[in-house]
Chains A and B, each alone.
Chain A
Amino acid sequence: MIRIENLTKHYGNVCAVDGISFEIRKGEILGLLGPNGAGKSTTLRILTGYIPPTAGNITVKDLDIHHQALEIKEMIGYLPEAAPIYPDMLVYDYLLFVADLRNLRRERKTGRIKELAGLCGLNEVMHKPIHELSKGYKQRVGLAHAMMSDPEILVLDEPTSGLDPNQIVEIRDIIREIGREKTVILSTHILSEAEATCDRVVIIHKGRIAADGTTDTLKESTGREYTVHISLQEEDFESIRKAFADLPEIDAPVLTDSHNGTLDFSLTCRTGKDLRPALYDIIRREGWNLLEFHRQTQTLESIFRQLTKEG
């Protein structure tokens, strides 16, 4: 559907995007992840035709971004970061303006606006000026703007930034709903969001691709290691260290916290083997009072940190 080839963008001396290539298949929800300033927004802005690339190419359905920009714009609905919508306009007037620019047929316009108002929950604010809206409502107007022409591709730049938790859940539901039929590309630096909504994740760091794959394959690829967090009612960390030394598969226990006769520590297991029964056996044998015991597998969070560490 969309092929991005060797995309590069320089702003003066600063290289924002440095030779990115990936493909997006039809009907996929792709998450573009990266720390602030990694080049996510720049990539999306080039894709939507707002800024031209310094080098490289994007093709959408065999259309070329350099020569058929208008045709590509017709296929893409775009929500920029922070939804910068004309503050003086009324929501309804704005949506009507977008419908006109998107060449909706006259008889279709009001129907489509009503549909979107229902889908995005805009019915109460339809006749308010946009500068009076809260951030969440503004974001929804932006979403309605992006979906106006029922485009095949939706590009959303940090669609949930600045929203409260309830609004985030609502917007995510809307995105997933759209994602059933459409191709959606969204950028975010919130990892749980990518995990919750995206089929596939591309992690960008300093203008380059650091990882590309489904959230599951990303977790697989960085190893099957996991960490077990244990909290015991015990004073002597040395004896704990000795007791767990028998198990070759795990690293030495790391003390994370100690207070009032309680020791918190973590054990990292390098292999995929589930060692929890063995660990529990040891604790029972030693007769320690167990307060807490849980396993933490590799999260997208830790993969992200691993891949985008400075240095």
Chain B
Amino acid sequence: MRSTVTIFKKEFGGFFVSPIAYIVISIFLVLTGWFFFSTFFLYNQADLRNFFSLLPMTFSFVIPAVTMRLFSEEFNTGSYELLLTMPVSATDIVLGKFLAAVAFVAIMLLPTLSYGTFISFLGDLDPGPWIGGYVGALLLGGAFAAIGLFASSLTHNQIIAFIIGMAICFTLTLLDKMLIFLPEAVLGIFQFIGADTHFQNIARGILDSRDILYFLSISFVMLYGTHLAVLEKN
């Protein structure tokens, strides 16, 4: 547990040492801000629905960009050898890195709280979807961070890690929209696997245990996969 905290601190601090963190945060804020406010006044509604509906898309490429270096860089520079020969378990390493990525996503979302604050001056903002949206965003961010971490643990090339991570995240995001192409027999299962519906449910302010469970299980499965991949690396 102590080692997890140490790794977390190191990785979280590490994000802000390199310019990548600032670039990613800037891109994220510019994209979400522009997409959101360019249509906001046309709808003439005081809610954040547009912001949250786009979030799975933006997260799909922003989060893998955040997580791509977590393992790949260590494998590439060989620092993983130093890390692993200290008294830490692979579980500590995976968890510490995962929590650092989730904390980074939370930091990234922090400035967007101002959107809601700003809108609440213009009209009545329903707090339910607002809070729900951020809970969902964290769950979604956690799941995608786990996916990105898994992709990073597969290769020592950061670009490849980014592309794999992005591919998985995009697939999960777009799956619900592709359902019309699928035979009816497998429809249910693919509908459940798709991330978008689960997220939009929560973002509407409905905290359904199925949706929460979905994100938690994606995170768990991916973290477990990471753990296996890291062990297999030896």
Residues of A in contact with B (beta carbons under 8 Å apart): 45, 48-52, 70-71, 73-74, 76, 78, 80, 82-89, 93, 97-98, 100-103, 142, 145
Q: Which of A70, A71, A85, A101 contacts B79 (CB 8 A)?
A: A85
- B17 near A89 with CB under 8 A, answer yes
Q: Does more than half of chain B's interface fall in helix, strand or loop, or is it mixed?
A: helix
For residue B78, CB closer than 8 A to chain A, the reply is yes
- A88 near B87 with CB under 8 A, answer no
Complex CA gap A168/B30 in Å reads 52
Least CB distance from A52 to B in Å reads 6
Complex CA gap A84/B74 in Å reads 9
Known contacts A50-B234, A97-B10, A101-B3: A70-B77 contact under CB 8 Å: no
Contacts of A51 in B (CB 8 A): 234
Q: Add 11 more A-B contacts to A45-B81, A93-B13, A102-B87 (CB < 8 A).
A: A50-B85, A74-B87, A78-B85, A80-B78, A80-B81, A80-B85, A83-B82, A84-B78, A84-B81, A84-B82, A100-B9
Contacts of A73 in B (CB 8 A): 85-87
Known contacts A50-B234, A89-B17: A97-B6 contact under CB 8 Å: yes
- A88 near B85 with CB under 8 A, answer no
Contacts of A74 in B (CB 8 A): 87
For residue B89, CB closer than 8 A to chain A, the reply is yes
Complex CA gap A51/B84 in Å reads 10
Contacts of A88 in B (CB 8 A): 14, 17-18
- A48 near B85 with CB under 8 A, answer yes
Question: Which of B3, B17, B86 has its CB near the most chain A CB atoms (within 10 A)?
Answer: B86
Least CB distance from B81 to A in Å reads 5
Q: Which of B10, B17, B78, B85 contacts A76 (CB 8 A)?
A: B85
Complex CA gap A84/B156 in Å reads 14
Q: Which of B1-44 contact A (CB under 8 A)?
A: 2-3, 6-7, 9-10, 13-14, 17-18
- A86 near B77 with CB under 8 A, answer yes
Known contacts A50-B234, A85-B82: A101-B88 contact under CB 8 Å: yes
Quick one: closest A residue to B233, CB to CB? Answer: A51
Complex CA gap A103/B88 in Å reads 10
Contacts of A145 in B (CB 8 A): 82
Question: Which of B3, B7, B85, B88 has its CB near the most chain A CB atoms (within 10 A)?
Answer: B85
Least CB distance from B68 to A in Å reads 15
Complex CA gap A98/B87 in Å reads 10
Quick one: closest A residue to B17, CB to CB? Answer: A88
Complex CA gap A87/B69 in Å reads 13
- A70 near B87 with CB under 8 A, answer yes
